[in-house]
């Protein structure tokens, strides 16, 4: 971790400042060390350059597996593509260049694919995740002076109130025990007139609700399966892609047995696993999400991709 991260960190237990003691350093970063709370005295390790505010990955073992395996599959810099960049713009409503000079929080950063987009626009980005995806994110962000990775739970975030100019969370909050409760942890971390953008799974259309009903039924079994068995089963998405492109019968098959239709075979397996493996997966409507924004004192604005909403913190 970089020492300058201390200015936004605080103890998740008592909110006091933290002191950093380094045991191993390289390239201006603390690789191993310890953070000690100046208030309650609790300690938090820094391992592999990441400050750790949780002892385990709790209910997101599937994401630890996923992001330690698919380390670069969705990284634009690796693919020489712009798909994560386009996704970022669609789901946050912000162009990366708008964020230049701002302090930004990526909640549920996974491999850091959106951190590299926001950081590429000139923002200083802090990525936080509960899973061991942080190992991958730290590796992917290595050498970037404007990127920080933290392992913590959205329900106990180790950040000082009012720290961030912009917070985004894409495809994350619906994977916690309560999407609304998880969202409500974010606005207090925004500076005045700061903005938050979230994207959560949609139950907006009838088609989505029917598909969701099918996958909720399958998920009852898939989330209880041994993780590697499920991952092997998800390879069925590779050939199913071709069957599902065969007119109406194909479309019907996709509705009753949804699998990823990404043109890239590796991403089809990843996305299908990503859908069927999480312990928690809720779907929401715009009006529900807009209600949470108002409740938190943010003025909501719908973005075009369901269900993505952004909102500015009111004075
Ligand atoms: C589907 S992945 C999305 C990752 C990234 N936003 C992206 O789109 O590439 C969901 C991420 O949310 C993280 N997550 C789930 N529950 C969390 C929690 N309570 N606190 C922090 N992160 C959490 C998971 O570990 C996982 O990396």
Rounded to whole angstroms, the Cα distance separating 85 from 138 reads 19
Rounded to whole angstroms, the Cα distance separating 65 from 296 reads 34
CB 270 near ligand 1, within 6 Å? no
**Phi and psi at residue 78, in whole multiples of 5°?**
-80, -40
Contact assessment for residue 138 and residue 49, using Cβ atoms and an 8 Å cutoff = yes
Which of 129, 157, 260 maximizes ligand 1 atoms within 8 Å of its Cβ, making it the mutation to test the pocket?
A: 129
Does 315 have pLDDT greater than 90?
A: no
For the chain, give the mean pLDDT.
Answer: 97
CB 198 near ligand 1, within 6 Å? no
Query: What residue ranges in 108-253 does DSSP mark as E strands?
Result: 124-129, 147-151, 164-170, 190-199
Does 280 have pLDDT greater than 90?
A: yes
**Ligand 1 centroid to residue 106 C-alpha, Å:** 10
Q: Give the chain's domains with CATH numbers.
A: 1-52 (2.20.25), 53-201+287-313 (3.40.50.150), 221-276 (no CATH)
**Ligand 1 centroid to residue 171 C-alpha, Å:** 7
CB 63 near ligand 1, within 6 Å? yes
Rounded to whole angstroms, the Cα distance separating 176 from 280 reads 6
Rounded to whole angstroms, the Cα distance separating 124 from 138 reads 15
Does 133 have pLDDT greater than 80?
A: yes
User: Which pLDDT score, from 0 to 100, does residue 143 have?
Assistant: 94
Q: How many CB atoms lie within 10 A of CB 259?
A: 22
Q: For the segment 227-238, what is each residue's pLDDT rounded down to a tens digit?
A: 999 999 999 999
The DSSP bridge partners found for residue 29 are 26
């Amino acid at each position: 971790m970089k020492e300058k991260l201390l200015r936004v960190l605080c103890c998740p237990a008592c909110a006091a400042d933290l002191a950093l003691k380094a045991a191993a350093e390289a390239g201006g970063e603390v690789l191993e060390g310890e953070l000690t709370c100046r208030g309650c005295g609790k300690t938090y390790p820094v391992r592999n350059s990441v400050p750790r505010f949780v002892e385990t990955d709790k209910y997101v073992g599937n994401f630890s597996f996923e992001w330690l395996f698919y380390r670069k599959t969705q990284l634009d810099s690796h693919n020489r593509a712009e798909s994560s960049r386009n996704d970022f713009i669609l789901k946050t409503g912000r162009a990366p260049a708008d964020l230049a000079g701002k302090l930004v929080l990526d909640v549920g950063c996974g491999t850091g694919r959106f951190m590299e987009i926001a950081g590429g626009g000139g923002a200083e980005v802090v990525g936080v995740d509960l899973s061991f995806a942080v190992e991958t994110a730290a590796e992917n962000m290595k050498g970037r002076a404007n990127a920080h990775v933290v392992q913590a739970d959205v329900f106990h975030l180790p950040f000082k109130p009012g720290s961030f100019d912009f917070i985004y969370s894409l495809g994350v909050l619906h994977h916690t025990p309560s999407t609304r409760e998880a969202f409500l942890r974010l606005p207090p971390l925004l500076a005045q007139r700061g903005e938050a953008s979230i994207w959560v799974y949609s139950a907006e259309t009838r088609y989505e609700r029917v598909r969701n009903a099918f996958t909720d039924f399958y998920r009852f079994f898939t989330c209880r399966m041994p993780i590697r068995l499920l991952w092997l089963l998800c390879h069925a998405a590779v050939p199913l892609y071709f069957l599902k492109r065969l007119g109406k019968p194909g479309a019907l098959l996709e509705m009753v047995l949804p699998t990823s239709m990404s043109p890239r075979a590796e991403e089809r397996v990843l996305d299908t696993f990503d859908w069927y493996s999480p312990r928690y997966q809720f779907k929401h409507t715009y009006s529900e999400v807009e209600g949470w924004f108002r409740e938190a004192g943010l003025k909501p604005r719908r973005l075009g991709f369901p269900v993505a909403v952004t909102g500015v913190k009111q004075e």
